[in-house]
Amino acid sequence: MQASPVEDKKLFEKLEELERKFFELERALGDPDISAQQRIRCSKERAELEDVVSVYAQLKEVAAAIGENSKLLDDKELASLAREEIDELSEEKSELEGRLRKLLLPKDPNIGKNVFLEIRAGAGGDEAALFAADLLRMYSRYCEDRRWKVETITMNETGIGGIKELVVKIEGRDVYGKLRYESGVHRVQRIPSTEAGGRIHTSTATVAVLPEADEVDVEVDDRELKVDTFRSSGPGGQHVNKTDSAIRITHLPTGIVVQCQDDRSQQKNRAHAMSMLRAKLYEIEESKRASEISRTRKTQVGSGDRSEKIRTYNFPQGRITDHRIGLTVHKIEAVLGGDLEPLLEPLASHFQAESLRNISEG
């Protein structure tokens, strides 16, 4: 009996199961009697499994070659060549196993989506509003570097340059994939410019990253909506301030309220508000699914919950600490200037490793 090509028993069982399913789908597709709808479904499922099955086949070939060469280690004339071959094949085997683990990671359907970025000032009064403005600049510069489009949906500013709350829409390649771990409470520790005594204050701002939901993702019944129009109260020129172009939509079953007042067109503001409403309703459903998954795991990968304190920006010590992974970087000015990669890359690696561990643990 041939040995398992991977030592991880659960991984081996998973791969064998997927391979069996792949060949079953191929047999089904070869059946002339299946319906057009079944053929489409089988073709889609087969395509999703094809890469995994292909790499697994390569892995089995490499594992078999290692086994054959191991039989030659007792042969004095061939042992040296066999060892060299085994070393090369072992490296290839490790690389293939790594590829398989990544291929088996759950596919997040939101990865390539645009997002609504919502920032709200938390505890700390005016200083919290100023910090919210700092976060907006940080994300805006990060987006500029990637040539992503940033469009203001709604903004409530303070008189001293702070922001009470705002929503911007970010469009571009892999936006949600990059920013999805930014949701949560961001905390700042610094001496406010208004503080005469030079005391360090702690303030917070809340960030939410919501993937844009398509109409097929979330069905919204117009009968469950209360739509109000009003005159824009913020900056935007005479035309905006003199017309009732701003839109406020209340989703009656959930109590969610969204509004948009940035555009002069009432129709465009309504479209933006509806898109934001769908994103919020979609987030609720995604959170429910994530909670169900986390109950079955020994450890939770990271909720991304907006009530969770995720990061502290400490100005006196010039450091930023991400509490989820225990990471500290001493580049506070660079990060607030838009250089987020020193934080985003380790976060992505950490959560990917957690997902791989969950696959092994079943």
What is the average pLDDT score of the chain?
85
Instruction: Note the pLDDT of residue 108.
Output: 76
Q: Which residue has the higher pLDDT, 308 or 162?
A: 162
Q: Name the band, by pLDDT with cuts 50, 70 and 90, for residue 287.
A: confident
What is the spatial distance between Cα 138 and Cα 136, in angstroms, rounded to a whole number? Answer: 5
What is the spatial distance between Cα 205 and Cα 141, in angstroms, rounded to a whole number? Answer: 18
Q: Which residue has the higher pLDDT, 111 or 84?
A: 84
pLDDT in tens, 321-346: 999 999 999 999 999 999 999 999 99
What is the spatial distance between Cα 355 and Cα 101, in angstroms, rounded to a whole number? Answer: 9
Instruction: Note the pLDDT of residue 232.
Output: 66
The dihedral through the CA atoms of 39, 45, 49, 51 has a sign that is positive
Please work out, in degrees rounded to the nearest 5, the angle formed at the alpha carbon of residue 320 by the alpha carbons of 143 and 161.
Answer: 60
Q: Please, which residues have CB within 8 angstroms of residue 121's CB and are 6 or more apart in sequence?
A: 128, 129, 131, 132, 162, 163, 164, 165, 203, 205
Q: Could you identify the residue written with the tokens 């643990």?
A: 361
Instruction: Note the pLDDT of residue 62.
Output: 94
Q: What is the CATH number of domain 115-355?
A: 3.30.70.1660
Q: Name the band, by pLDDT with cuts 50, 70 and 90, for residue 303.
A: very low
Model confidence pTM above 0.75: no
Q: Which residue has the higher pLDDT, 298 or 154?
A: 154
| DSSP state at residue 53 | H
Instruction: Note the pLDDT of residue 143.
Output: 97
What is the spatial distance between Cα 22 and Cα 43, in angstroms, rounded to a whole number? Answer: 10
pLDDT in tens, 109-134: 788 899 999 999 999 889 999 999 99
Q: What is the mean pLDDT of residues 299-313?
A: 62
